[in-house]
Structure formats: structure tokens, C-alpha cells
Amino acid sequence: MKRIFYLAVISSIMWNCQSPGEGETSTQNADSNLFIMKFNDVHTFSQPEVARITHLEWDANVDFENKMIDAVAKYNIWTSDEASEIFFDTKNDMEILDVLADDAPAKFSIGDEVEHLGRPLRVEVLPSTKTISITYKTNPKAAALQWLSPQQTANKTAPFLFTQSQAILCRSWIPIQDGPGIRFTYNAKVRVPTGLMALMSAKNPQTKSKDGVYSFTMTQPVPAYLMALTVGDVDYKQLGAHTGIYAESSMMEKSANEFAEMEDMLIAAEKLYGKYQWEVYDMIILPPSFPFGGMENPRLTFATPTILAGDRSLTALVAHELAHSWSGNLVTNATWDDFWLNEGFTVYFERRIMESLYGADYAEMLAQLGYQDLQETVEGFLEKNQARDTHLKLDLKDRDPDDGMSDIAYEKGYFMLRLLEKAVGREQWDAFLKDYFQTNAFKVMTTEAFVDHLKTNLLGDMKYDELKLDAWIYGPGLPDNCPTPESNKFTIVEKQISDWQNGTALTELETNNWSSHEWLHFVRYLPVGLTYIQMKQLDETFGFTKSGNSEILAAWFQHTIANNYKPADQVMSDFLVNVGRRKFLTPTYKALLAAGKKDQAIAIYNIARPNYHSVATQTMDELLGVK
């Protein structure tokens, strides 16, 4: 292998990006001038203004024994008139075996490692070069990939693999131009052990192939962070005309029942903001080590099994990932500094879907829980002197984008959009949003371009200033005009707690017909410093330690840890060992540290760590200081 080292210089040139319009795919040319936007992505080595990928043909073998994918990635590329090189992102010592330009050997070099980013792969091209083929092998440590033993799955009979590419991990399994502003179409051919099904963020099979070979097409251009692959012993079950579930056989019935309302969500979403553009919307229930709640891979959301509560109470997550089919997958944040454009809009859209299906009271409970998260996050950042991380528009230069992504993008973003809705009225706001998704479909969006769009199409300069939107977007904390969600239901919950504090027996509290959100608020709202007797009474009366609802369980652990309530210890440590969802791991390990139980935390982590995806171990290693 040729390996010429040179100093990697990250391009800081602003580039004009023309994204293809509807109907245009791989052959878009840069002069089509459909959409021009200036932005600078500091998290990719690629220089898309010089040369960029437009289409990928991916031919891959998935080797479970060696925890490796060996593959050829053949790209169609667009080149500027002066192009002499094209840059790709790589990571985790992916082995580059061969590079061709227009099917002839090409000169290439791999640059030095840059912290957080990986290494650039530089390939020499001519302005006339049309294709680049890269033959490569992934490293067993490839950060996006988690290779699971049969023991780590539900059926316990076959191995499992899944990828997690967002934010900048696609480069660990495909040498690629890994910036959200660069879109391409793809086809893939993937070979896996027979008996397993392979699925991608593409047109997917519904049955297992006899020979373990699968073909995929994605005819709409997507960015690299939406590249996804999973391989496992899963089946498919159709739920509605456009929706279905993939799950291991032992999880299928529960999953299909939990998500029976998926088609209704899709219909509600289309009614709000326009036609669903990706033909089908399926979801796969992954093993519990999946580090997120959900990931909006186009056509196939990846989801954690921790949302299987048995009572459909955690399906807002489905609404969320579905909403990304518009906010994120159609209109995409140009850089990770603009992440709130993906997540804030999605949380807003998610709550509107939930409101259409279950009513305003229900959606308001979700908003209130989000408001609690937001306040905690803002306070946390301000205390740590990290006010910069409370801005909607982030500055993630020289950082791992994963470190700067917090509830701010989700919830401060949500509340700003809710403020806009309040300011102009729902009718006008909905028309604006629908048009925003339509006009910008398959394009990228920067914060600055959104601000322009907002001023031009909805508010005007004066109203923009009146609403203090610069403070919202470019300033710290929560501006004083933040709408406050009000939920009668939660006021009643709070009253029950104060009644209990004032002597009413737990069995006398009015908790009939409470939804899991009310219970979650109840647990979160419990006072600090409960005695062992009080904890025991709560647990005996309401069965929190036995809760099948992961949100309630995780909130309960905050109290069991702080109050030294040992009867929950085994359940807590089992939870930490089996579940790899970072949203639950971080607060639980933090609570252990805060309670002076570092030894217990480390003892559990030593057992749990091999079960976690790299996204989770990276955060927990740092938190627990075991790097």
C-alpha cells in the first residue's frame, strides 16, 4: 500500500453548493444553479468546491468472524475546471488497498491523523475524471460499527451488526466525503452469512435471500451521515400501506403491537407538512446496545428496544424519527453547527404529530417534560462556563461534533419555533413550514439562510427583532420571551406529591388513569433526600423498580442511587449492563459519581463496557475517567 504522509490542511474555503433539485440525481452538474449556499464545514477533509461525489456503487462483504467489512466504493464524481485532487474522509485506520481513477491506477496518499476527524485520503484527478474506485477494509475498531455476539441479541442464536454514522462516523466504514452538505445517490451489493438479512437506508428486502446476497438502491440523494447498514436474523411485518417493522422473531409481536399506529403517524405528518418523499417508512428494532433512542436513516429508522413499554407510551420517538423525513433528511443542516435546524424542527414536528393523534393535552405533557430537560441543560452549561453551548448556532470547530450536541438544539430549538407559531398564528406558521420543506427539499440549510428565509417569507426585520430572535439563535440561555408550557395534568401530579408530604397516605393519592408521562413527572418531581422508609413505601405502592417503562425506571434510579435504596441495585446494574442507550447511561453513571459511589460505577462499567457501542464508551470513558 502506498502511504505518503503530508500535513493535512483543512479547507476553510467557503464553497458554493448546488444541490440537485427534485428529480435530479447523480448526474447533477454544478452549474445547474438550482440552489446556492455558502458554508464552511470544519468536520470534513473533503473540498466539495473542487471535487465531490455524486453517486456511490458499494460492493461489500460482511465478515463477522474478523469483524470487518471489505468493500469497493466506486464513486461518480463532479470536478471543477481546476481540479487536480479529490479528498475523502477516513477513520480508525481503515486499510486502503487500491484506488482507481476512471478504472486506471491513481496516485493517492493518506494524511496524518487529525484529532476528532480521522485521516484524509487524497486522490489525484484531472478535471475530466469521472469515477474513483476505492478498495478497502474496515478496522475491527471502526467506530460506527457494532458487532454483536448472539448473546447480545434477543433471540441469542445469531450475530448482529449495525452502523451508526451520525455525526461523522460514516468515514469509519466507507471512505467518503463525510459532510452533511454533500449529497449522493447510491446502489449497494452486500454479501452476508446465509440466514441473516441485510438492510440499508435504501430500498430494502422483506425476506431473507438464500445465498446471503442483497442489492440496494437509494435513488434520492442523501448525505453520508444517513448511510446505514444492519445485518441480523430479523423478519419483516407490514403494518400499513407504507409502514412496516423489522425485528428479531422473539420481539416481533411486541414490536408490531407497540407501533401499530405508525401508519396513522405518517398520515398525520403528511397532512401537516406535505407528502412523504421516501415511499416507505419502516423501522427496525435493534438489540439494546444501540446507543440512541432512534436514528432517522432514510426509509428505515433504527430504534432501541427500550421504547417497547408495552403500552405505546414511548412512541413519540417514532413520531420524531418520522418527522426527520422532512426536517433533516429533506432539508439538511449544512454543517453540525446548524444541528438545531435538524433537531429543533424535528421536535416541533414530532409534537405536532402527537397532538394530531392524541390531543393537545398529551402533546403539552411532552413539551413540559422537554422544558424540564431544557432548563436543566441550560443551567448545567452556564454553571460550567459553557455558555457557548447554549446558543442554537453552535461553534464546534476543533471539537468532536458529538460533544456539542445537546438538548439545546432539540428543546431551545423547539421553543423558538413554538414562539414563532404563537407570534404569527398556527395557520400562517403551518403554511410557512410546509413551503419551507417543499422549497428546500433535497437541499442544505444554514442557520443564516434560514434567518433570511424567515425574514423574507414570514416576519420581516421588525418582527424578527421584536421576537429577539438573534438572542435566541446567537445568544446564551433562554430569552425571557420563551413560551412556557402549561399542563394541568402535571399540576395535579404535583399536588399529589405535596399531599403525600403533608400526610396523605400513598394509597390515597389520586393517581387513577395516569399516563406514563404523569408517572414520569411524579418520579422526577419527588423531593430529594427521601428516607429509606419513604422509598420503600413508594416502591411497594407503585412498583417503580419493576417498571417496564425505561424512562420511569431511569428517573427512579436517580432517587434510588442518591437515597441509597439498595433493593433497586441489582435491577439498576442489570439495566446498565444490558442497555447501551447513552441518554440513560449518562445520568445514571453521573448519579453514582455524585453519590460518592465511584467504585460501584466502575465495577458495573467493567462488566457493561464490552456491550456498549463506541459512541457510548467514548462518553462513559470520559465521564468515569477510565481512558
CB 390 within 8 A of CB 381: yes
Q: Active site includes 321?
A: yes
By a kind-dependent CB cut-off of 5 to 8 A, residue 41 interacts, out of Zn ion, ligand BES, none, with: none
Shorter beta-carbon distance to ligand BES: residue 134 or 317: 317
CA distances in angstroms from 392 to 387, 395, 471, listed in the order given: 11, 10, 9
Q: Which of 122, 324, 352, 393 binds ligand BES (CB under 6 A)?
A: 324
Measured between alpha carbons, how far is 266 from 276 in angstroms, rounded to an integer? 8
Draw the binding track, 10-29, toward ligand BES (x: CB under 6 A; -: no contact). --------------------
**Which range binds ligand BES by CB under 6 A, 35-43, 146-154, 290-298, 360-368?**
290-298
Q: Which of 261, 321, 539, 551 binds ligand BES (CB under 6 A)?
A: 321
- Residue 446, SS3? coil
By a kind-dependent CB cut-off of 5 to 8 A, residue 405 interacts, out of ligand BES, Zn ion, none, with: ligand BES
Residues contacting 380, CB < 8 A, separation 6+: none
Which helix (H) or strand (E) segment holds residue 444: the answer is strand 443-445
Q: To the nearest whole angstrom, how small is the minimum distance from the Cβ of residue 380 to ligand BES? A: 17
Q: To the nearest whole angstrom, how small is the minimum distance from the Cβ of residue 410 to Zn ion? A: 7
Shorter beta-carbon distance to ligand BES: residue 233 or 296: 296
By a kind-dependent CB cut-off of 5 to 8 A, residue 445 interacts, out of Zn ion, ligand BES, none, with: none
Measured between alpha carbons, how far is 464 from 290 in angstroms, rounded to an integer? 40
Shorter beta-carbon distance to Zn ion: residue 318 or 467: 318
**Which range binds ligand BES by CB under 6 A, 104-112, 287-295, 390-398, 442-450?**
287-295
Q: Is the dihedral of CA 459, 464, 468, 472 positive or negative?
A: positive
Catalytic residue among 410, 414, 589, 612: 410
Q: To the nearest whole angstrom, how small is the minimum distance from the Cβ of residue 591 to Zn ion? A: 25
Shorter beta-carbon distance to ligand BES: residue 169 or 624: 169
Q: Which of 192, 199, 295, 454 binds ligand BES (CB under 6 A)?
A: 295
- Residue 60, SS3? strand
What are the cell numbers at 581? 442507550
Q: To the nearest whole angstrom, how small is the minimum distance from the Cβ of residue 167 to ligand BES? A: 5
Q: Which of residues 396-435 bind ligand BES (CB under 6 A)?
A: 405, 410
CB 506 within 8 A of CB 541: yes
Residues contacting 586, CB < 8 A, separation 6+: 619, 620, 623
**Which range binds ligand BES by CB under 6 A, 28-36, 63-71, 293-301, 430-438?**
293-301
Q: Is residue 308 a contact residue for ligand BES (CB under 6 A)?
A: no
Question: Which residue, among 140, 128, 145, 130, has the nearest Cα to 74 in the 3D structure?
Answer: 130
Which helix (H) or strand (E) segment holds residue 538: the answer is helix 532-542
**Which range binds ligand BES by CB under 6 A, 110-118, 242-250, 320-328, 388-396?**
320-328
In the bound complex, which residue of the shown chain has the CB atom lying closest to ligand BES?
293
What does the CA dihedral 501, 505, 509, 514 come to, rounded to 10 degrees?
90
Helical segments of 329-359, H only: 339-358
Q: For the purposes of burial, counting CB atoms within 10 Å of the CB of 62, is it exposed (0-12), middle (13-18) or buried (19 or more)?
A: buried
Catalytic residue among 248, 258, 296, 321: 321
Residue type, 389: D
Residues contacting 198, CB < 8 A, separation 6+: 62, 190, 192, 205, 214, 229, 230, 231
Q: To the nearest whole angstrom, how small is the minimum distance from the Cβ of residue 219 to ligand BES? A: 22
Q: Which of residues 325-364 bind ligand BES (CB under 6 A)?
A: 343
Q: To the nearest whole angstrom, how small is the minimum distance from the Cβ of residue 43 to ligand BES? A: 12
Give the largest CA-CA distance in the chain.
Answer: 82
Q: Which of 258, 282, 296, 421 binds ligand BES (CB under 6 A)?
A: 296
* DSSP codes joined into one string, 227-250: --EEEESEEEEE-SSSEEEEEEHH
For residue 482, the number of C-alpha atoms closer than 13 Å in the C-beta half-sphere is 21
Draw the binding track, 138-177, toward ligand BES (x: CB under 6 A; -: no contact). ----------------------------xx----------
Q: Active site includes 411?
A: no
- Residue 564, SS3? coil
Task: List interacting residues with ligand BES (CB under 6 A).
Answer: 166-167, 292-296, 317, 320-321, 324, 343, 405, 410, 583
Interacting residue ranges for Zn ion, rule: CB under 5 A: 343, 346
| Active-site residue list | 321, 410
